[in-house]
Amino acid sequence: MMIPSADLLPGESHSVVIDRARLATLVEGAVGGGLILDGALAVRDGCIEWVGHQKDLPGSYLGWRRLSAEGRLVTPALIDCHTHLVFGGSRAHEFELRLQGSSYEEIARSGGGILATVGATRSASREQLIHDAARRARHLLREGVATVEIKSGYGLDLATELEMLRAARAVQREVAGLRVRTTLLAAHAVPPEFAGRADAYISQICEEILPAAVAEDLVDQVDVFCETIAFDLSQAERVLEAAHRAGLTTRIHAEQLSSSGAAALAARLGALSADHLEYLDAAGVHAMAGAGTVAVLLPGAFYTLREDQAPPVEALRRAGVEMAVATDWNPGSSPLGSLLLAMNMACTLLRLTPVEALTGTTRGAARALGLEAQVGTLAPGKLAEVVAWPLQEIAELSYRIAGHDPPDRLVHGAWVSCRDLAQRGSA
């Protein structure tokens, strides 16, 4: 599969050997994040060609240009595999309501929640949507993220869902160094025009919105919010099957506020991931393990909604389910603009290990997006999307609550600060 490179100047190649690196390779099966303390990594034309101990570097690389990591921790660039970065308006008022005791479901049922953002997004200009989303994306780029997934789902009509996806595609063009994967989430909520007629809206998604998005090449994945305040299992199945017929991969927002069997549905239909999973039961864990469904954990929503039931991380770990961690950046349940903070929350609130948190924002996130053949680990054949942190240990990435200095990113055979990358082209 061809994917757009997140490279800064497409067409220009670079070949270099990075040495004096503490390499966190994150390759499957390796313990401790596959850490190589005295590592070296050979990059040819933007692809990783060799990884290992510096003393084992083959002689054929000895004449190559060297780039020292100066003993720093070197990892794959991070991947935020679940965001809602394109939206209009703010939901700070609902934050205040929740502080006064209202629940997320109560606010949603009284016309707030997702539908409040739908109104603000429908009335926003294209320029405003792109400008705001690109600004948010630069916050992620600054902290070492090279791939961001962006969902639609605040339009809930043909015109605005397509506008959101166009805005997401525009973010990739606007923000150099960032790859965007787009997800159609038209089945995010029942739009007011279809109140009480959810099945008719599902038909519109399958017969009009999805085909139009495919025809314009706006969509890479399809997602459904399966929940009592959104869509049920049979409605979710209709959307996912339509997506599969169109040749797209799928996900489900599953088991966030109640136990529904949506994760088992994701497994049965071959969706790449089930996301949230606070109320995932043993049968769902078993089904996901059997199908290889990625468990995408979203601690920002868990934190914001002050959930008291956490996803069953120990059961997922024992069953061998691959876990990913993402920001779920959205204006309501997770106004979280830092993937590193999501990693900290995944450890502190959900009890992931720091290695699991980093794996979840690299290899696991790549799998949730179907990009595992290209990115997510430091291994021969992968794209050389590599960052060097001003840190020594993997645990330091998740241990800090905030206050990270931006890492350096490998750009055409040199280190460039992600702070500088994020400032390029920004107004």
Whole-angstrom distance, CA of residue 227 vs CA of residue 378: 37
Residue type, 371: L
Q: Extract long-range pairs of 116-120: CB within 8 Å, 24+ residues apart.
A: 116/89, 116/91, 116/332, 117/87, 117/88, 117/89, 117/91, 117/154, 117/330, 117/331, 117/332, 118/154, 118/155, 118/156, 118/160, 118/189, 118/191, 119/89, 120/87, 120/88, 120/89, 120/90, 120/154
Of all residues in this chain, which one has the CB nearest to Zn ion in the complex? 328
CB of 256 to Zn ion, least distance (A): 8
Minimum CB distance to Zn ion smaller for 78 or for 226: 226
Contacts (Cβ under 8 Å, ≥6 apart) of 239: 186, 187, 202, 205, 206, 210, 222, 224, 231
CB of 84 to Zn ion, least distance (A): 6
Whole-angstrom distance, CA of residue 351 vs CA of residue 373: 28
Binding residues for Zn ion, rule: CB under 5 A, are: 328
Minimum CB distance to Zn ion smaller for 142 or for 251: 251
Whole-angstrom distance, CA of residue 138 vs CA of residue 175: 7
Minimum CB distance to Zn ion smaller for 237 or for 328: 328
- Please check whether residue 343 is in contact with residue 404, taking contact to mean a CB–CB distance below 8 angstroms: no
Minimum CB distance to Zn ion smaller for 307 or for 328: 328
Which pair of tokens denotes residue 124? Answer: 């926003």
DSSP result, 64-100: S-EEE-TT-EEEEPEEE--------S--HHHHHHHHT
Minimum CB distance to Zn ion smaller for 83 or for 359: 83
CB of 185 to Zn ion, least distance (A): 8
CB of 147 to Zn ion, least distance (A): 17
Which pair of tokens denotes residue 189? Answer: 């909520």
Q: Which residues are registered as beta bridge partners of 184?
A: 222
CB of 390 to Zn ion, least distance (A): 31
Minimum CB distance to Zn ion smaller for 67 or for 280: 280
Minimum CB distance to Zn ion smaller for 78 or for 394: 78
CB of 83 to Zn ion, least distance (A): 8
CB of 253 to Zn ion, least distance (A): 5
Minimum CB distance to Zn ion smaller for 154 or for 201: 154
CB of 115 to Zn ion, least distance (A): 15
DSSP result, 2-16: ------SSTT----E
